[in-house]
Structure 1
Amino acid sequence: MVRKYVVSPGGRRGAHPDIGSALRAAAARGRAARIEIAPGQYEEQLTVHGEVELVAAGEPGSVVVSRPRGTVLTAFGSVVVRGLVLTGRDADAGVVHCRGGSLALDRVEVRAHNGVCVHVSPGASATLTDSGFRFGRTVFTGAAGVVERCRFAAAADNAVAVIESARVTIRDSRVDGARIHGVRVSDAWAQLTGCEITGTERAAVIADTQAELTVEGCRIEGVHGPALQFVEQSRGAVRGTRVRDAENGILVASGADPQVRNCVFTGCRDTGIHVQDAGRGAFEDCEVVDAGNVGVLSTRGGAPQMSGCRVSGGNVGIAVTDHARGRFTGCLVRDLTGVGLRVLDESKAVFEDSRVERCPFGLDTKGNGGTTAELTGVAFADFDMIAVAAVGQSRVTLRAAVAERGLLGFGAGEEAQLHLHDCTVTGVETGGALAFGTARLVARNLTVTGAQSYGLCGTGSAFVDVAGSRFEDCAATGLRFDESCGGRLVDCSVTGTSKTAVQHTGRVQLVSLRTTLPVKEITEPAPPPTIVNNYHGPVFVEAVHSAQLAWGNTNVAQQQTLQGRPDDRGEQTGDAGHAGVDRPRRAPTAPASPHASASPTSPHDPTAPNAPTDPDGASR
């Protein structure tokens, strides 16, 4: 039978003046006890043993128990606390510390200034219902716990920590404004159901160090970091969860492998789904809306698998970059400002039975030969620029792909390789397929219908290998090959109202072609004349007479003898005291073109007197 004890600060008859005296009386009897506490302020440190219930006699919150420093309530045995407010400061062990047995907090408020609200030690268990925890964290260390309809507010670090093999279930609770994480699960097991988490500075919910975490039917919004984070080989599941306004909707890294289903990530500032550093994960029936950078990103060795997912709005739909992988089945990507699908930098991606619509670019790939994309049953519709663009040395294989209503269907440039099998292009404004640079384009059973310019074009030094393909109703030409483009056509047909079936330079072998339209060989223009400019001598633009020229010499001495009557020499020279002596004069020069230089004359030109000689005696 439970014995009742009453506590009243006034010390009325039959009541204990403080809680401590009632606990001592209950311990002396060694029986189950119920201690009813009258409203008021109690500055005490309580240590509870055995089977004890502490109850506020008035409304919840009317009884305040506090201490200036340290732990307020230490529990051993089976302890229930109802309706109390427990306040402490600098309580590293917890304002409430369950050291053994079981503890239940019902309609309790715990305030921990610069400390821990509740600490449940290894082997103990705690049940928290309809309670509030402010400023400090709640820690389950190797313990068991159930949290229902509680609120954790303004925690100075993590709001709830489940660590060291603890097992905790959290239902219908709320976490606001934690300085680090809302809920951290480390080397432990936890399940969150129907919870709301807002305003955390780092990941709202994180699982690390081989933790196992299940998140179901939760709502996370307005967080500075990722909404959900699985790292360090953690496992678990996320189902039916909604995320809004986070840096990342879910971040998976370092070997973690969660199962994510039926979740929505809206307005994420960077990425909706982010997998990196050997992270994996299976994502099914998820939606990413208006991601600031990339809807779904696999990077730095990430390897997710996605099925039935939808990406809309934002910049890039699905990107696989920097040695990453990914398999995407039954996905829908639409209404982006950039590119629907992207594969870069030695990454490998597989897309199956998916659709990309209303994006400027459908798929772009770039990187070395290790960059590959394989697409099967993928449709591109209403693209502004190009459905598929492969550049660098990347390799793209399309099977049963469709491109409709855009500028250009499929293209390969630089040193890329593009393989088309059973693909269709319809209603494009320019052409069905294009190869340029030194790219290689291989097409089998390609069908291009209604291109407003050409069906297929090769230019530069590209190589095309086209077999079993049809080009219908292309406005200008079925196939056009310019410059040094080479290759072959086998068992192809060109029909419709095109002006020509094929225009080529003779470098593409027309092995077999069915058409009633003309085939024209493009005559290559003659190479321009070679112009050699000599910048080592004069160029004269007018007739020059009596010129003396010298070049290629370090020193030049010139003399000129004046011609005239013998008795006029003194006047000719202008020096009567030195008649008959020639005076050196500067050689006259001819006007030169401003756009050219002089060209050399013969080294034996008699008009260049006193030319110096090389050391071996040869005149220069």
Structure 2
Amino acid sequence: MVVKYVVSPHSRRGTYPNITSALRAFSALQAVSRRRRSAVVEIAAGRYEEGLVARGDVRLVAAEGPGSVEVHLARGTVLETYGSVQVEGLVLAGRDVEQDAVACAQGSLVLDRVEVRTPGGVGTHARPNTQVSLRDSTFLHGRTLFTASTGTIERCRFTDAADNAIAAIEGAQLSLRGSRVEGSRIHGVRVCDARAEVADCELTGTGHAALMADTRARLVVADCAITAVHGEGIMFIEQSRGSVDRTRVTDARHGLGAGSGADPVVRDCVFTACRDTGIIVETDARGRYEDCRVVDARNVGVLSARGGAPEVVRCQISGGNVGIAVTEGSRGRFGDVRIEDLPNSALRVMEGSKGTFEHVRVDRCTLGLDTNGDGGTTADLTDVAFSEVETAVTALGQSRVTLRGVTAERVAVGFFAGEEAQAHLHDCTATTVRVGGAVVAGKGRVFAKNLTVRGSEGNGLSVAESGYLNVAESEFTDCATVGALFADESSGRLVDCAVNGTEGVAVIHNGRVELVGLRTSLEVVDKTVRTVDQKSTVIHVDGVYVAGSVVNSQLAWNNDRVTQNQSNEDGRTT
């Protein structure tokens, strides 16, 4: 049976002068009644300075529509509920930041077309073992908190929270749909040791991560838009799990971050104009990232750092600075990725990290892959295509790269190893090359099998300083200058290789190269370099006295006529 109470501040007959008196009347009726009763309290328009305690099955209704009734309280809780309470159309305003403005202490609470105003602190609190539903309501400045409780939020607006706009903690379960969160000083939604589903929501202008999952939380996000946040769009930390689907993040520091053991699944998302990275995975976090796009990330599109280990598949990265970077002892697996239009490296592996790349396409970047670090720095590439880059692969430091089925097209240099780095090439191709197909310098080492270089404006292979090159079963065609050039103190082997074309030289070497089964119609030049001792002197006094050694010199005396014979590089005398 429903009992109706009418509240009017004008003290009309049959009405109650304030809301508290009506609630007390209903409580008294419940105490003496043998039947279960419910109450509807219709409240006339006006401002009510009182704190409310609602018990039992009660509806509080603004008789003249949403916003017509304002309940204010300077100190203490504005509304505390026990039982099954529904509030429709009221404005609840508290001023005490030390107390919950609205608290569900027991049972369930529904706020429908309600506005909750607080200067800070907790605006609405679902205390342990309660159920709170928020519908079509507005929450200003204060935090909406679910503690070990169950919450449902639909079509609500949270504005300028002094802390987190919404928090689910200590095992709470929350569903947030169709809502907008704006201007929170810390997080838009924080899920800590709790579970939350966030769908069809807009989040903007938060001071830290718009969505934060920490302390083994589970956060599920779908179809959301996140814009203009100072921190991360979405962040998973401290072994949190969950998923993110069909969500767009624009103008965040990091589009999505995972740290300290987190392991999310991210699918079909777009991260645009991030001020640092599109996706960052660090401090032993993992995660799988599928069918995502990163556009114009100012620093790195996808970054694995400090022990991160992401798996990235079917993703696209365009614009910005660096495409994918694996650094600071991290790992990463990347497959079916497309990277284009970067002024820096498409792929980067540094500082003891390991990157594995399969079925990757790189277009119009300054560098394709660059590696640098100690011997634990490794990059494995399989079926990777580089086009219109300066250098397809650059290995430095003591790093090691292994390439299988890698192609470089319209590049300055195909494959480069310098310092003490090593490159292992299997079934690789470089075509339309301006400088060289494979270049070795410093103490770099390159081992190649079935390497093809076609259409080089310079060299097919080039080795300088103390570099080492070992190439087998390979082919170099139409290299304008030389098929293989060995200079300085470099060394190596060419085994069962072919140099084809109508111009240039097949091989120019320094006598430190083993040629086994070389097939070519072009010239092979043995250009052994001998250095003249700079301290040697020649003194002519009615004859010759030589102090020190003189090599490749012509000396003459007591002659009116001198004939000089000089051998060309091919050994012919002129």
Flag whether TM exceeds 0.5 (same fold): yes
Counterpart-to-counterpart distance in 1, 2:307 and 2:83: 50
* Pairs within 5 Å for 1:97-496: 97-383=103-389, 385-496=390-501
How far the C-alpha of 1:3 sits from its partner, in A, is 1.2
Counterpart-to-counterpart distance in 1, 2:311 and 2:503: 45
Any idea what SS the aligned residue of 1:29 has?
A: helix
1:196·1:220 contact (CA, 8 Å) conserved in 2?
yes
- What corresponds to 1:601 in structure 2? none
Deviation digits for residues 66-102 of structure 1 (CA, Å, limit 9, x no counterpart) = 1111101000000000000000012434110000100
Q: Which amino acid aligns with 1:437?
A: G
Counterpart-to-counterpart distance in 1, 2:404 and 2:470: 16
How far the C-alpha of 1:348 sits from its partner, in A, is 0.3
- What corresponds to 1:518 in structure 2? 523
Write out the 4+ residue segments of structure 1 that deviate beyond 4 Å after TM superposition.
none
Counterpart-to-counterpart distance in 1, 2:531 and 2:56: 106
Counterpart-to-counterpart distance in 2, 1:458 and 1:430: 12
Whether 2:89 is the aligned partner of 1:83: answer yes
Q: Which amino acid aligns with 1:464?
A: L
1:89·1:115 contact (CA, 8 Å) conserved in 2?
no
Counterpart-to-counterpart distance in 2, 1:145 and 1:13: 40
How far the C-alpha of 1:530 sits from its partner, in A, is 2.2
- What corresponds to 2:502 in structure 1? 497
* Pairs within 5 Å for 1:561-600: none
Compare 89-98 and 145-154 and name the one that shifted more.
89-98
Q: Which amino acid aligns with 2:404?
A: R
Q: Which amino acid aligns with 1:429?
A: R
Counterpart-to-counterpart distance in 2, 1:434 and 1:5: 90
Any idea what SS the aligned residue of 1:28 has?
A: helix
- What corresponds to 1:616 in structure 2? none
Q: Which amino acid aligns with 2:290?
A: E
Counterpart-to-counterpart distance in 1, 2:263 and 2:529: 59
Counterpart-to-counterpart distance in 2, 1:233 and 1:111: 35
Any idea what SS the aligned residue of 1:77 has?
A: strand
Any idea what SS the aligned residue of 2:352 has?
A: coil
- What corresponds to 1:12 in structure 2? 12
1:289·1:314 contact (CA, 8 Å) conserved in 2?
yes
2:415·2:437 contact (CA, 8 Å) conserved in 1?
yes
Counterpart-to-counterpart distance in 1, 2:167 and 2:98: 14
**TM-score, normalised with respect to structure 1:** 0.85
How far the C-alpha of 1:317 sits from its partner, in A, is 0.3
Any idea what SS the aligned residue of 2:456 has?
A: coil
Counterpart-to-counterpart distance in 1, 2:146 and 2:99: 12
- What corresponds to 2:29 in structure 1? 29
Specify whether residues 33 and 531 from structure 1 end up closer, same or farther in structure 2 by C-alpha distance, changes over 3 A only.
farther
Deviation digits for residues 514-546 of structure 1 (CA, Å, limit 9, x no counterpart) = 1111111113143233269xxxxxxxxxxxxxx
Counterpart-to-counterpart distance in 1, 2:309 and 2:181: 31
- What corresponds to 1:589 in structure 2? none
Deviation digits for residues 137-181 of structure 1 (CA, Å, limit 9, x no counterpart) = 000000001000000101000000000000000000011100111
1:403·1:424 contact (CA, 8 Å) conserved in 2?
yes
Specify whether residues 514 and 201 from structure 1 end up closer, same or farther in structure 2 by C-alpha distance, changes over 3 A only.
same
Q: Which amino acid aligns with 2:394?
A: A
How far the C-alpha of 1:54 sits from its partner, in A, is 0.1
Q: Which amino acid aligns with 1:462?
A: G
1:93·1:119 contact (CA, 8 Å) conserved in 2?
no
Any idea what SS the aligned residue of 2:134 has?
A: strand
Q: Which amino acid aligns with 1:450?
A: G
* Pairs within 5 Å for 1:48-67: 48-67=54-73
For 1:528, which of 519, 526, 533 is the aligned residue? 533
2:9·2:46 contact (CA, 8 Å) conserved in 1?
yes
Counterpart-to-counterpart distance in 2, 1:514 and 1:248: 55
2:120·2:163 contact (CA, 8 Å) conserved in 1?
no
How many residues align? The count is: 531
Q: Which amino acid aligns with 2:77?
A: T
1:474·1:497 contact (CA, 8 Å) conserved in 2?
no
Q: Which amino acid aligns with 2:226?
A: I
Higher strand fraction (1 or 2)? 2
1:274·1:296 contact (CA, 8 Å) conserved in 2?
yes
Q: Which amino acid aligns with 1:8?
A: S
Q: Which amino acid aligns with 1:425?
A: A
Q: CA RMSD in A?
A: 0.9
Counterpart-to-counterpart distance in 2, 1:172 and 1:527: 82
1:153·1:176 contact (CA, 8 Å) conserved in 2?
yes
Q: Which amino acid aligns with 1:215?
A: V
Counterpart-to-counterpart distance in 1, 2:382 and 2:133: 53
Counterpart-to-counterpart distance in 1, 2:536 and 2:367: 45
Counterpart-to-counterpart distance in 2, 1:413 and 1:362: 16
1:85·1:110 contact (CA, 8 Å) conserved in 2?
yes
Deviation digits for residues 421-474 of structure 1 (CA, Å, limit 9, x no counterpart) = 000000011110001111110000000000011101111111111000000011
Deviation digits for residues 389-432 of structure 1 (CA, Å, limit 9, x no counterpart) = 00110000000000000111100001000010000000011110
Any idea what SS the aligned residue of 1:359 has?
A: strand
Q: Which amino acid aligns with 2:451?
A: L
Larger of the two Rg values belongs to structure? 1
1:253·1:275 contact (CA, 8 Å) conserved in 2?
yes
Compare 100-109 and 458-467 and name the one that shifted more.
458-467
1:501·1:518 contact (CA, 8 Å) conserved in 2?
yes
Counterpart-to-counterpart distance in 2, 1:262 and 1:451: 41
Deviation digits for residues 230-264 of structure 1 (CA, Å, limit 9, x no counterpart) = 00000000000000000000111000000000000
How far the C-alpha of 1:483 sits from its partner, in A, is 1.1
Counterpart-to-counterpart distance in 1, 2:162 and 2:532: 77
Whether 2:74 is the aligned partner of 1:68: answer yes
Any idea what SS the aligned residue of 1:232 has?
A: coil
Counterpart-to-counterpart distance in 2, 1:388 and 1:498: 27
Counterpart-to-counterpart distance in 2, 1:43 and 1:338: 64
Counterpart-to-counterpart distance in 1, 2:22 and 2:536: 113
Q: Which runs of 5+ in 2 are unaligned?
A: 31-36, 538-574
1:478·1:498 contact (CA, 8 Å) conserved in 2?
no
2:453·2:477 contact (CA, 8 Å) conserved in 1?
yes
